[in-house]
Structure 1
Amino acid sequence: MSIRYIWKQLWRSLNKKTNEAVRLWDDLWFREGSIITGRYRIERKLGMGSYGVAYLCRDVRSGQRCVMKRVTPLRGGTQRAQFIYAKETGMLELLSHPAIPALYSKFRYRNHLCFTMEFMEGKSLDTLLFQEQCTFTERESLLLIRRLLPIVAYMHSVGILHRDINIANVVVEGERVKLIDLGLARELANAESVVEDVLDVEADDPSEKILRRTIHVTSDYYAVGHLLLFLLYSTYDQKEQAPAGADRGWELELTLHPGTKKLLRRLLLTEQPYVNVQDIIIDVNQILLYLKT
């Protein structure tokens, strides 16, 4: 391990901590009960990530609930914030689908880039799996993926990759599945700038992150494969199935239909990758027919 690498990691960590402190200080202007631009009353903070902070708000004019996002990336400064803001709002303006949030407004508040969008009713898979301890059988897992895939197909049909499909960004309301957070969404057709390449993925990032951020349809398919594994593992009991601390890999740990195993291998790029969503949907439908009997 070189001195240069160590200094790079220390600088990255220090820069991130500094930006986190600034973000928390700025949160004083976005406290619960605050009214932003005289219109959006903040009810609570929904969460924060590498690129911004999201709040549940109520529009005092219409009484409608919405989500307000404040774009404050932990890396890249003002230029990066403007880039991310333009990308995410631009993606939302291009998309029109009942399972994807609609963009409501864009504005700057106290020098913060903000926008509001539709609040998607339901619970994230993250909440269902880890807070409510919900479990999904193999059939239930595939049914949920089957409901998610047409949303991915729609995005790809208009030339957009999501690039961040995960259990926190998939919302379930009854039998309806929704896809939120387009902060990493990018155009399929356009090459990304050097700034984007440097700040979004670095050479020493884990291979999984690099695969998820690739500007190619397989990045979304890879993410769907990992999402499916999360669901399938919800019924797995490690104490009963394997010795403590053993990690045998999903193919040995999970008892699955052969079609589901092949589906996962192709999604996770260990066998011939899928080239379009419709082929994935066809394979999922065929497996579901077998599991129904």
Structure 2
Amino acid sequence: MLRPIRKFQQFLVDHPLKAGEIIHHRYQVVDVIGKGSYGILYKCMDRETRDNIVIKQLRPSKRKKIKEINLFKKEAEIIGQLNHPNIPTFFEAFSEKEHYFYAMSLLEAENLEETIFARKKTFNEKESLLFMRELIEIINHIHEKKIYHLDLRIPNIMIQNDEPYLIDFGLASQGKMLLPIKEEDAKLQDFYDIGDILLYLLYTTYSPKKKKALPWTEELVLKKETVHLLKRLLRISEPYGTIEEIKQDIAVAIHSKEIV
């Protein structure tokens, strides 16, 4: 019963800001562009620079809880440490009238989930591997800072010109903030999620021939190098220990597709 009650509470309390409202004496709300479990996303115009940006607001229903406020501040702190062209750029965090916000750059890109399911975009085996090679570089950047995303899913991957962008660090953890998750477990979770995303991409070109669902190892016709990569990512065989190992096996799998 807790989830319906929580949703009803959010419905009563979490009214988004209206278009035209000014936040922090600077940012003018253009539109609501997303709602998550913890936050509301707005497209805003920066009245000083005239640029469009994103403002994330902690849901009003959560702003009275210290734990929720700290998680929101942690997310802003983590994004502020990242410096990658395929991750939103952090601008500032602020509070106003007992509400909590932070500002970041706007990615003019599409959600990978919508691209696959609504636009019916497909990725063949080589295209899937090339896409994952780019995504791995982004993951490598955050792992070098001991930051683990812990929510790598296709809704949190944006795509523009076939290039991946990573968003939503609401569940991300770093260093001492990892407890009760061990760092090794956090790293393996990200690796597993990478495998899951790769599997999603590979299934975009699959047409079922039988009504009964089979394991991916039987449904998908893949090069042995790609199967090896997936099995290690998904912990079916020995898990990867480092990003470098994954990058090497992706390179081998891509090369195998280039051999005629």
TM-score, normalised to structure 2, is 0.91
Work out whether residues 103 and 116 of structure 1, in 8 Å CA contact, stay in contact via their aligned partners in 2. yes
1:242 and 2:217 matched: no
Q: Does 1:284 align with 2:250?
A: yes
Give the corresponding residue for 1:115.
102
2:244 match: secondary structure: helix
Partner of 2:188: 218
Q: Please report how far the alpha carbon of residue 19 of structure 1 lies from its aligned counterpart in structure 2 after TM superposition.
A: 3.3
1:19 has 2:18 as partner: no
Residues 154-195 of structure 1 deviation map (CA, whole Å, 9 limit, x = unaligned): 1111110011111111122214321111111101455426xx
- Contact kept? 1:160, 1:186, Cα under 8 Å: yes
* Structure 1 contact 167–227 (Cα < 8 Å) conserved: yes
> In the alignment, residue 168 of structure 1 is paired with which amino acid?
P
Q: What CA deviation, in whole Å up to 9, does each residue of 1:49-102 have, x standing for no partner? A: 112111111111111111110122877961232121121011012111111111
- State the one-letter code of the partner of 2:108: E
Q: Secondary structure at the match of 2:65?
A: helix
CA distance in 2, matches of 1:188, 1:260: 32
Assess, with a 3 A threshold, how the Cα gap between structure 1 residues 127 and 191 changes in structure 2: closer, same or farther.
closer
Pairs within 5 Å for 1:86-125: 86-125=73-112
User: 1:242 corresponds to which letter in structure 2?
Assistant: K
1:18 CA drift (Å): 3.3
Contact conserved, 1:16 with 1:74, CA < 8 A, in 2? no
Pairs within 5 Å for 1:141-290 = 141-188=128-175, 190-192=177-179, 215-238=185-208, 241-243=209-211, 246-290=212-256
Q: Quick check: 2:225–2:256 contact (8 Å CA) kept in 1?
A: no
**TM-score, normalised with respect to structure 1:** 0.82
Q: CA RMSD in A?
A: 2.1
Distance 1:76 1:55 in 2: 17
- Check whether the contact 1:188–1:215 (CA below 8 A) recurs between aligned residues: no
Q: Secondary structure at the match of 1:18?
A: helix
> CA offset at residue 127 of structure 1?
2.2
SS in 1 for 2:204: helix
- Unpaired runs of 5+ residues, structure 2, are none
Distance in 2, Cα, partners of 1:122 & 1:152: 18
Structure 1 stretch 136-145 or stretch 174-183: which is displaced more?
174-183
Q: 1:67 maps to what in 2?
A: 54
Q: Which amino acid aligns with 1:69?
A: K
Q: Which runs of 5+ in 1 are unaligned?
A: 1-9, 198-212
Q: Percent identity?
A: 29
CA contact (8 A) 1:73 1:81 kept: no
In structure 2, give the amino acid aligned to 1:219.
Q
Q: Which amino acid aligns with 1:108?
A: S
Q: Which amino acid aligns with 1:121?
A: E
Contact kept? 1:105, 1:115, Cα under 8 Å: yes
Give the 3 Å change call, closer, same or farther, for CA 249–214 of structure 1 in structure 2: farther
Query: What do residues 233-284 of structure 1 show as CA deviations (whole Å, max 9, x unaligned)?
Result: 111122xx222xx221211111111111121111111211111111101001
* Change beyond 3 A, Cα 1:88–1:264: same
Partner secondary structure for residue 235 of structure 1: coil
Deviation at 1:223, TM superposition (A): 0.8
Q: Tell me, yes or no, if the aligned pair for 1:161 and 1:215 is still in contact at 8 Å.
A: no
Distance 2:253 2:12 in 1: 50
